Each structure stands twice: as C-alpha cells, then as structure tokens.
Structure 1
Amino acid sequence: MDKLLIKQCLFHGSWLVFAFMAWLLWRMRKPGHRVLAMVALAGCLVFAWARFVEPQVLRVRTTTLVGTGARADIALISDIHLGVYKGRGFLERLVQRLDALPVQAVVIAGDLTYEPQADDLGTLFEPLARLRVPVYAVLGNHDQQAPGPDIDRPLREALMRHGVHIIEGRIVEDAHGFRWAGLGDRWARKDDPGFVKAAPSAKPTLVVAHNPDSAMNLAPADAALVLAGHTHGGQIRIPWLYHRVIPSAHGFDRGEQFAHTPDGAVRVFTTTGIGEIGLPLRLFNPPTIDVLHLRP
C-alpha cells in the first residue's frame, strides 16, 4: 500500500511542475537569475513532455518481415499496464486506433495491468470486446507474479469474458495457414515450451511470449517468429543510459533481433509497449502499436 501511495503521489503531484515553471518565468525578470532559470525551465519542459504528452501519444509503426513462412497482417501491442497510471479511457482510445488498422488479428504480449483494483477488471477491460478481429494474449510478470499482486485468475476471467483468447500453454490453428502458441511469463517460470516441441508441424508457428528472453528455450524449428514485449524499449530512452534499465538477460531491446540458442538463431520481434511502470514517464519512446506484415 505504501508503494502504491508513493506512485499515486508522484503521478498526481507532478502537476506542480506547471506552478514551478510559472515561478521560473517570474524569476527570469531578474538579470542575475536569468541563465539559471532558463536552464531549469528547459528541464521542466522536458519533464512536462515526458509526463503529460508523450505517454498519451499512440504511434503506429509498420514493419514487413519476410521469410516467416506465414502471410498475415497483425497488430502487436504489449505492456498496456492499466491501473495506477492508465485507465479505461486510454484503453478505449487504443481500441479505437486498433480497430481502424487493416489487420487480421491483435496480439497482446503480456503485462496488461499495473496494480489495478482486482474487483474492477471486468469494467476496466470491457473496450477489448469491441475489437472486430480475433485477439490473442498471454499474461506477464505484472499480471501473474513479480512484483505482484497476483491477479492471474480474475484477469483471465475478465479477458475471456470480453472475447480475448488466452493462448498460454496451448496451440491454436489460424485459418490463414499458420499456428499460434503462447508461453507464460518467464519470471514466474511458466514459459516451458515443451508443448510446442511435442507438436511439430509443417505449418509455421508464431509464438507469443511476454519476455523475449523466453526465445532462448526455443529452436528455429519450434518458432517461425517470437512476438514479445516486456522491455518497454527502456521507456525513458536516454541515449547510452536506457540499456541499463532494460530487463533482459540476453540483450533484447526493441524491434527485430535474434535469439542465438544452441540449436540456432530464433527470430524475435519485441514491441516497446503502451504503458509505463515505475515513473509515469516516456521519452523518445512513445506508446507503440507495431503493425507487422508477415510474408513467406
């Protein structure tokens, strides 16, 4: 509760930056304080952008991936993190944007929540029911285990009630000639790909995982492509510094990369996510919907 209170104070107290900026403008009238006030004002403007503007931007980034064996157009999102910093209103905007895209499916690669009220999950995620295309999802560490609280069961029930297909631990055939497979969260030790390895197929398999590090347990024969999130691309993407906060043990960041496993290179695409954790800030890294054109 104390940590939640601190986050809420930070989120709402950050509005005071505008009062501080007004005070700095007043101080700039005095020549002796002008340079220092201008520097502080520039810092406040960057903070205001990262707090109030960029987290509300919804960027659509399009990538064509050739050689996946599949032909499909999908929208990949992750890390929506509804709860402390983002609410249902933002999800409604996100759904409206997704519904306007020429895609065949929406994939949510985990971390849908960030300390929400467990008894409000049904209402919170109701906008997802309006999507006109199938929605495939797995859960992430903030939904299942670390850092908690564990809302795995009520979240699954709420999502399924709104038509979302939770595909963890199972394989789903797609009408377009490929398969979906879902891995659970790696930090919760629920990403065992044994069920994928036990069901080889001539059809390409698209594996959805929250943590891109889960690709290290796969072989090229298991997955034509791994779709993941978790990293936020650093969230606050300050050059040379953001790498230190990316939660990947194998150097995954964002976009297309390869997991170099003992069995060969596994293709991975990591999206930078929609929401925020820790600080309610995004910088040089707006919330992103990745539209992937998969081509054989």
Structure 2
Amino acid sequence: MPKKQTRRIFLKRIFSSLLTLLGLGSGGYIYANRIEPFLLEIVHMDMKHPLIPQSFTGKKIVQFSDTHLGFHYSLQQFKKLAKTINNLGPDIIFFTGDLMDEPNKYSEINQLVPILQSLDAPLGKFCIYGNHDHGGYGSEIYRNVMETAGFQLLLNHSTSISLNNLSRINIIGIDDRMLGKPDIPLALKKVTPDQFNILLSHAPDVANDVSQYPVHWQLSGHSHGGQVKIPFIGPLVIPPFAKIYYEGFYRVGDEESLSLYVNRGIGTTRLPFRFLSKPEITVFTLKPEKN
C-alpha cells in the first residue's frame, strides 16, 4: 500500500522538478540544500524619520528572525550567529519570532539560553511571538527562554527607550497573526503620535492595518523571503500573512506613511532549502530626517 504523500514531500518533489526543468539538476539541489542556507547576508539600511531624536543619531538596531532551531539549524550555527551579531556592535536587538521550529520537542534549551544571554545590546533586547513560538504548546516555553535570556517580550504592549531621560523612541510589539491574538489598539494604548514609533510584527501583511495608526516603521519576518524563488515564476514557499509583503523594504498606506521592512530570516521551514533567498541579518542605523 503506497504511503500517504505529506505536504513536505509534495513541496520537495515540486522543487526538485522545477530545478530539473531549469537545467540545474543535482547541482541546483545541492546548492539550495547545502550552500545557500549558510550564505548569511548582512543588510545595512538607514532608518530615517523626522521624529527620530538627534540623540539617537547613529544608534544601531540589529534585527534577526526565524531561526527555526531544530529544523536543519543547529545550536553550533546559532553560536556563530550570536558572535556575528555581537561583532556588529548593536545598541538595540530585535528578534521577530520563530526561535525554535517545535518548542515542545526541542531538547537543547539549557544550552540555548546562555547563547541568547550572550547577545549584547546596551539599550535593550526585544522580541515578539511568531507562529512557531506558539505552536506545539510552545508559548510559555518561548516566553521563559527569552525572558531568562534578558529579552523583553512585547505581547500587544509597548515600551520606550530613552537617552538621558530627555529623548525617547517607542517600541511596540503585537502577537502573531496566525496563532496568536494581535491587538494593535491595545499595543498602542500608551503611545503618542509625536514620538518615533517602531512596531514589531512577525507577520508582515498586517502592515495594511498598522498603517492606519501612528506607527512610523514596522519590522517583520515570517516570509523567509519566499525561501525558494524560481526565475520567471517567483517565490515557492510563502506562508499566510506574508503574501503581499515578503522581502525587503516597502512604503505602505494611503500616504505611504508607514515604512515596512521584511527580514528573510535565518533558518528554513517546511523544506530545508533556500534558493535565491539568502538568510539575513539586518542592521538599521537611526538617522533623523528633515521634514
């Protein structure tokens, strides 16, 4: 009796067939499975807005996302990632969700926490829930890991970062769109429109809703940049709520008032491949902008 075909096997077969059609064959398969997933790209970008206080000029935010530890991404790789992040000299670190692929099945949590603790950011480390952080009864596991490691988990909540008690920026985090309960008005309850506001959302497509509020930048992950992109066809692996915005920089809203950046993430999901979608760390340098 033939085995029931799983979604993962189905996608793997589609990907292999496409590579064959493109004339890449086994070489393309090996590249996508064993080479590109390790080709970490560090993307540098200015984060500009008139409301950024002058005292924050030059401060660096490092965003990383979607490590999916346990699914073809190891603790040794994560140690190297942490060293790379620290070498970038971040003032602020954001993790935008999906730390472990299956939190309730991950067996190396005791070794994971010290690595997260080693990440150094003098102005704070902040994180939000992704769908995999909630999945498999993982919500409290993820919370305990991140808070023990010195991250502030923002669950429909905001906080502020101040310098010399004179100037500040606000950081807002909402719950995951797939498996959580995001509440934008609740998250913005203590936020005023006359200060610079950054919102963290695992799912990028909520930007269409976020653009209706006094939020100036949104940082997201979730999409893996499509993870597998086929020339003339486009992304092969795009999850729900990353269909509209799946990679890079966008201006969103009727007046393009919201700047959105979608990080391609570090690990893989569903399939252990990356093709034309390298893993990414994003470094944002804060710069006040004249009106």
Whichever residue aligns with residue 254 of structure 1, its letter is E
Asked if residue 210 in structure 1 is aligned to residue 197 in structure 2, the reply is no
> In the alignment, which residue of structure 2 is the partner of 1:268?
260
| Aligned match for 2:133, one of 143, 158, 174 | 143
> In the alignment, which residue of structure 2 is the partner of 1:155?
142
- Alpha carbons of 1:240 and 1:184: their partners in 2 closer, same or farther (altered >3 Å)? farther
Asked if residue 45 in structure 1 is aligned to residue 38 in structure 2, the reply is no
List gaps (5 residues or longer) in structure 2. Answer: 13-19
> In the alignment, which residue of structure 1 is the partner of 2:176?
185
Whether the aligned pair in 1 keeps the contact of 2:227 and 2:235 (CA below 8 Å) is no
**Secondary structure of the residue that 2:62 maps to in structure 1?**
strand
Q: Which moved more, 1:272-281 or 1:249-258?
A: 249-258
Equivalent-residue separation in structure 1 for 2:111 and 2:90 (angstroms)? 26
Whether the aligned pair in 1 keeps the contact of 2:211 and 2:252 (CA below 8 Å) is no
Percent same amino acid among aligned pairs? 24
Structure of larger gyration radius: 1
What RMSD, in angstroms, separates the aligned Cα atoms of the two structures? 3.0
**What displacement does 1:52 show?**
0.9
**What displacement does 1:39 show?**
9.9
| Aligned match for 1:62, one of 44, 68, 86 | 44
**What displacement does 1:172 show?**
1.3
Equivalent-residue separation in structure 1 for 2:238 and 2:86 (angstroms)? 30
Whether the aligned pair in 2 keeps the contact of 1:79 and 1:275 (CA below 8 Å) is yes
Equivalent-residue separation in structure 2 for 1:165 and 1:89 (angstroms)? 24
- Alpha carbons of 1:99 and 1:184: their partners in 2 closer, same or farther (altered >3 Å)? same
Equivalent-residue separation in structure 1 for 2:160 and 2:66 (angstroms)? 25
Equivalent-residue separation in structure 1 for 2:283 and 2:110 (angstroms)? 27
Alignment of 1:158-177 (within 5 A): 158-176=145-163, 177=168
Asked if residue 122 in structure 1 is aligned to residue 110 in structure 2, the reply is yes
> In the alignment, which residue of structure 1 is the partner of 2:88?
101
Whether the aligned pair in 2 keeps the contact of 1:77 and 1:288 (CA below 8 Å) is yes
Whether the aligned pair in 2 keeps the contact of 1:58 and 1:94 (CA below 8 Å) is no
**What displacement does 1:53 show?**
1.3
| Aligned match for 2:248, one of 240, 246, 255 | 255
Whether the aligned pair in 1 keeps the contact of 2:248 and 2:262 (CA below 8 Å) is yes
1:101-135 Cα distance to aligned partner (Å, 9 max, x none): 03211111111121252453232343111112132
List gaps (5 residues or longer) in structure 1. Answer: 12-37
- Alpha carbons of 1:127 and 1:165: their partners in 2 closer, same or farther (altered >3 Å)? same
Equivalent-residue separation in structure 2 for 1:230 and 1:240 (angstroms)? 23
Equivalent-residue separation in structure 2 for 1:244 and 1:57 (angstroms)? 19
| Aligned match for 1:233, one of 197, 200, 225 | 225
**Secondary structure of the residue that 1:184 maps to in structure 2?**
coil
Alignment of 1:2-13 (within 5 A): none
Whether the aligned pair in 2 keeps the contact of 1:7 and 1:84 (CA below 8 Å) is no
Whichever residue aligns with residue 130 of structure 1, its letter is S
Equivalent-residue separation in structure 1 for 2:107 and 2:237 (angstroms)? 32
Equivalent-residue separation in structure 1 for 2:268 and 2:83 (angstroms)? 20
Q: Which moved more, 1:188-197 or 1:273-282?
A: 188-197
Equivalent-residue separation in structure 2 for 1:128 and 1:214 (angstroms)? 28
**Secondary structure of the residue that 1:186 maps to in structure 2?**
coil
**What displacement does 1:58 show?**
1.7
Aligned length: 264
**What is the TM-score when the length of structure 2 is the normalising length?**
0.81
Whether the aligned pair in 2 keeps the contact of 1:227 and 1:268 (CA below 8 Å) is yes
Equivalent-residue separation in structure 2 for 1:249 and 1:45 (angstroms)? 29
1:13-61 Cα distance to aligned partner (Å, 9 max, x none): xxxxxxxxxxxxxxxxxxxxxxxxx999952111111111111122111
Q: Which moved more, 1:103-112 or 1:233-242?
A: 233-242
**What is the TM-score when the length of structure 1 is the normalising length?**
0.79
Whether the aligned pair in 2 keeps the contact of 1:212 and 1:228 (CA below 8 Å) is yes
- Alpha carbons of 1:128 and 1:189: their partners in 2 closer, same or farther (altered >3 Å)? closer
- Alpha carbons of 1:6 and 1:227: their partners in 2 closer, same or farther (altered >3 Å)? closer
- Alpha carbons of 1:55 and 1:172: their partners in 2 closer, same or farther (altered >3 Å)? same
